[in-house]
Amino acid sequence: MLKTENLAVGYNKRIIIDNINLEIKEGEILAIIGPNGVGKSTLLKCIASYLDPIKGVVYLDSNVIHKLKPSQLAKKMAVVLTERVNPGNLTGFDIIAIGRHPYTDLFGRLTEKDKEIIIESARAVNALHLLEKNFFEMSDGERQKIMIARALAQEPKVLILDEPTSFLDAKHKIELTLLLRKLAIEKNLAIVVTIHDIELALRIADKIALIKDGKIIGYGHPEDIMDKETVNNLYDLKSANFNEEIGYFELKNENTIVKKVFVVCGGGSGANVLRYLVKNRYKVYCGVLHENDIDYVIAKTMETVVVSEKPYQPISEEKFNEALKYIKMCDVVIETNFPIGEINKLNLKLIGLTKEYGKKVIKFSGKIKELNKQLLSLF
């Protein structure tokens, strides 16, 4: 449906991104990701025919986009850019109606069919209640919905969005990304979007293109290409790691203070404790964790010292003794409310021996505020 062949984009014959070969079909979302200033918006503007390519071609179906008349392209492609608009006293209905311009007569008169499409476009983005509201009175999230509804009113096959979540809070970011997924499926749209939030992109995109240093360094299904090495390289991460299993970043356990803490956890019970300790620069050890446990995944991503056991295997004496060695080195042990079964019951023995050695054991109540008080009182 939409395809680039050996495309190079930039300004004044200066290439910003070269050798771009992307393809997206109806019902799919392509997310374009990369650091600020790499040319994501420039690429979108070229795809949308706002800029001519320096070399290469953009196809929409079998047509070269840059050879289509604006009136032809407006019926096939709609674009929502980042720039804030100031439409005066226009209502939501008025803004969406602009999307019908390619279909109206010379005087811009709306037919009954046009009005039906405007209302249906508002309904598609859950914005019927905004039709009579002045645009300048709307929140950023409401405005973004209206701008997408305006694009839908064009009845396009392709929807282009440049960083649509930029000005939105967390709630509206999630709402908008879920809306894009819904539109791709229900409207059978091919959607191309630049987005900063990797977690959201992973959950809605069918394909992802990663841009760095003037080229595409990764392209394909996000589940295939978004691994630790690739994403860390994309953003030149030094103090955090990306983890493909959980789809987000964790801080590394580095630049630590002298206080050492051992965490006995499992089943996700240690996630918040580990994040709190790493954020506050404690030297963190934990175990014994099975390698299919979410706490293990988080701890490894943070590069803490982890004593681990193979999945579904009872904790061995070897791993038990290794954990005990680290506990003897630590200043305090934190026990979370982890689930106990046959394969991890030796962790209870670990806690018991810790007390025998005279080490302080903090039983995590589930509230970081309380844990913080207890640690501060000790150190």
pLDDT in tens, 222-270: 989 999 999 999 999 889 999 888 888 889 998 777 789 999 999 999 9
Determine the straight-line distance between the first and last CA of the chain, rounded to whole angstroms: 62
| pLDDT score of 86 | 67
Length of the chain equals 379
> d(Cα 230, Cα 244) in Å, to the nearest integer?
10
Q: Name which of 334, 352, 343, 349 is nearest 269 in CA terms.
A: 334
Give the pLDDT confidence score for residue 286 in this predicted structure. 96
- 135-172, pLDDT tens digit by residue? 888 988 888 899 999 999 999 999 999 988 877 888 88
What residues contact residue 359 under an 8 Å CB cut-off, 6+ apart?
Answer: 327, 328, 330, 332, 333
Q: pLDDT tens digits, residue range 173-192? A: 888 888 899 899 999 999 99
Signed CA dihedral, 64, 184, 26, 215: sign only: positive
Q: What is the dihedral of CA 132, 135, 140, 141, to 10 degrees?
A: 30
> What are the φ/ψ torsions at residue 254 (nearest 5 degrees)?
-130, 175
pLDDT of residue 273: 95
Cβ pair 295, 268 in contact under 8 A: yes
pTM: 0.82
Span 109-124, mean pLDDT?
91
| Counts for the chain of helices (H) and strands (E), in that order | 14, 18
Each residue's pLDDT tens digit, 189-211: 999 999 888 888 888 899 999 99
CATH code for the part of the protein at 249-378: 3.40.50.720
Q: How far is CA 205 from CA 17, 24, 78, 164, 193, in A?
A: 22, 11, 19, 14, 9
CATH 3.40.50.300 occupies which residues in the chain? 2-237
Cα–Cα dist 265/15, whole Å: 52
Alpha-carbon span 206 to 204, nearest angstrom? 7
| Tokens 């490894």 found at | 300
Average pLDDT over residues 120-135: 92
Q: How far apart are CA 294 and CA 245, in angstroms?
A: 9
The CATH number of 2-237 is: 3.40.50.300
Average pLDDT in the 62-68 region? Answer: 90
Q: What confidence tens digit (pLDDT) does each residue in 72-116 have? A: 888 899 999 876 666 778 999 999 999 998 887 777 788 899 899
Percent of residues in the chain assigned helix, strand, coil, to nearest 5: 40, 25, 35
Give yes or no for a contact between 255 and 282, defined as CB atoms under 8 angstroms apart.
no
Structure tokens at 357: 């050695």
pLDDT at position 84: 65
Burial 303-338 (b: 16+ CB within 10 A, else e): bbbbbbbeeeeebeeebbebbbebbeebbbbbbbeb
**Displacement of CA 41 from its chain's centroid (Å):** 18
Position 332 scores a pLDDT of 93
Question: Which pLDDT score, from 0 to 100, does residue 153 have?
Answer: 93
Phi, psi of 17 (to 5 degrees): -130, 135
Model confidence over 317-366: pLDDT tens digits? 999 999 999 999 999 999 999 999 999 999 999 998 887 777 889 999 88
pLDDT, tens digit (0-9, with 9 covering 90-100), for 2-53: 999 999 999 988 999 999 999 999 999 999 999 988 999 999 999 999 999 9
3-state secondary structure (DSSP) of residue 73: helix
CATH 3.40.50.720 residue window(s) in the chain: 249-378
